[in-house]
Amino acid sequence: MNDYFYPSNRVSEGVTIRSSTMYEQYFDGRKPSENQVIQAIKRGLSRGHVQFEISWGENMVTLEKGRAGVNTWHGWGWIKNISGHELAEQFNREGI
């Protein structure tokens, strides 16, 4: 597992979960904006990941791409008012 340290967050990549890799990002300090969460997911997508776990303290959103079809997203969990389910619906509408 590689850890990259930034001033306000930590990114860990390559955690093996059920024979696939999960992109994880932990936000430390203030709550991340929805845009920061989306950018973290897009960063993981650009590196070939299809499972994502974004967390802030005890709060977490988890998303998976491709479970029910190549471009189908599923999401669950919350970081304050940021819903994993709503992010997945947005990504499905946008065709990401």
pLDDT at residue 70, as a whole number: 78
CA 75-40-57 angle, to 5 degrees, is 75
* pLDDT, tens digit (0-9, with 9 covering 90-100), for 80-95: 999 999 999 999 999 8
Please state the pTM of the whole predicted model: 0.76
pLDDT at residue 11, as a whole number: 46
Q: Kindly report the average pLDDT of the chain as a whole number.
A: 82
Domains of the chain: which residue ranges?
A: 2-94
**Cβ neighbours, 10 Å, residue 24:** 24
